[in-house]
Amino acid sequence: MTIHAFIDALPKVELHVHLIGSASVPTVLELSRRHPGSRVPAAEEELRAFYAFRDFPHFAEVYGAVNALVRDPEDVAMLVTGLAADLAAQNVRYVELTVTPYAHHIVGMPMRAVTEALDAAARDSLGEHGVGVGYIFDIPGEYGAEAARATLDHALQEPPKELVGFGLGGMEQARPLYRDAFRDAFRAATAAGLRSLPHAGEMTGPETIWEALDGLGAERIGHGIACLDDPRLVAHLRDTQTPLEVCPTSNVCTGQVAHIKEHPLPRLLEEGLYVTLNSDDPPMFATTLSDEYRVAAEVFGLDRQALAALARNAVNASSLDPEGRRAILAEIEALSETSRTP
């Protein structure tokens, strides 16, 4: 079995992917044609050029333009089931999908309508594609206290059945302005049983990761690559085995890492940190979850054993119940045994 065949066959879990950022190129083109007059191109070549990001602020601007095309609950459901179909083709068994409900509220979608769309899409994703879906409700950090309140209200008042976590994304540089509002929202969300799953240490330094851990009670860290700038933080993450949701291609495309060969993934592993591989916004970055495993193999030389370990990490860091974890772990072990057979 070649390394590529092994990656294709490897059962996977995706922990860090965004609803809007998961929209395939054909889906975005269809939305753009359905809603003429937007800033998003309606021709494929122009759209791919639109996805050439200068830096993270430019990425955020483009992401917002695509988000503005999602105007009704049917669009939301279409994005979820479209992602499930894409993931099923990669042998992904389960996904924790980050949804930013505030973005849907501000275009006029009621909480209940969004939740009904998410519930229906989760059922269809499992029934039609065999992909389980858990949702993470994400505060867009640059929108501050208002977004924190709206996201929390939706999570507590009208949660989708498969809501598992509470997140914080967007521009990390804005977070100090709203620190108390974010802390209060996370305190209430975790008290209600949701997991704390914020982004941190993607575009700012270790201080943002410390705040995620100490101020938000983070159980996993989205990205977290800036941890390497603080030896004390590295030691803490290693000792606690706090999972990092690492997205190599994303970090290059948004300008957080200059070149894929310079990505800190190898060092994160050398430091004994708990790493999972993820795709973030795959069509926008011209990648897939399987492609991220290929990068780990081709660029950084990870072998089958190391790739299987990353896949197991994602399963164990997920919100799956024990039975669901055991089933996928058994599949990974069976493949690993087969690949070792002469």
162 Cα distance to chain centroid: 16
Beta-bridged to residue 169, according to DSSP, are 140
Residue 330 buriedness (CB in 10 A; 0-12 / 13-18 / 19+): exposed
Please give the Cα distance from 122 to 132 (Å, whole number). Answer: 7
Instruction: Give the sheet arrangement for strand 163-169, strand by strand.
Output: 12-18, 92-99, 132-140, 163-169, 195-196
Please give the Cα distance from 68 to 96 (Å, whole number). Answer: 23
Please give the Cα distance from 238 to 223 (Å, whole number). Answer: 15
Please give the Cα distance from 277 to 239 (Å, whole number). Answer: 20
Would residue 202 show up in a list of annotated catalytic residues for this protein? yes
Q: Which of 202, 211, 292, 331 is catalytic?
A: 202
Which of helix, strand or coil describes residue 268? helix
Q: Please identify which residue in the block is written with the tokens 């993607």.
A: 202
- Other C-beta atoms closer than 10 Å to the C-beta of 179 total 12
**Active-site residue set:** 202
